[in-house]
Amino acid sequence: MAKAKAKKSARKATKAAADRGQADLGARAIDAAMDLAAREGWGSVTLNTVAEACGVRLMELYARFPSRTAILAGFARRIDGQVLKGGSAGADAGESPRDRLFDVMMRRYDAMKPYRAAIASIVAEAPRDPLALLCLCGQGRRSMEWMLEAAGIGTGGPLGVLKAKALGAIHLGVLRVWLNDESDDLAKTMAALDTTLARVEPIARTLFARA
Give yes or no: residues 50 and 39 share one domain.
yes
Q: What CATH number is associated with residue 75?
A: 1.10.357
Share above pLDDT 90 across residues of the chain, in percent, rounded to a whole number: 58
Give yes or no: residues 108 and 210 share one domain.
yes
Give yes or no: residues 36 and 73 share one domain.
no
Q: What CATH number is associated with residue 49?
A: 1.10.10
C-beta separation of 51 from 61 below 8 A: yes
Residue 196's SS3 state is helix
Give yes or no: residues 57 and 84 share one domain.
no
Give yes or no: residues 107 and 210 share one domain.
yes
Q: Total structural domains in the chain?
A: 2
* Tens-digit pLDDT profile for residues 25-57: 999 999 999 999 999 999 999 999 999 999 999
Residue-level pLDDT at 135: 76
Q: Give start and end residues of each alpha helix (H) in 65-156.
A: 68-84, 97-112, 116-124, 130-136, 142-150
Nearest Cα neighbor of 133 from 81, 88, 76 is: 76
Residue-level pLDDT at 179: 97
Query: Tell me, what DSSP letter sits at residue 119?
Result: H
* Tens-digit pLDDT profile for residues 109-125: 999 999 999 999 999 99
Size (the chain), residues: 211
Choosing from 66, 98, 116, the residue where a domain stops is: 66
Q: Mean pLDDT lowest for which of 13-17, 68-72, 91-95?
A: 13-17
Give the residue numbers spanning the domain of 32.
1-66
**pTM assigned to the model:** 0.82
Q: Looking at residues 65-93, what average pLDDT do you find?
A: 86
Compute CA distances 69 → 126, 137, 201, whole Å: 12, 12, 33
Is 5's pLDDT higher than 50?
A: no
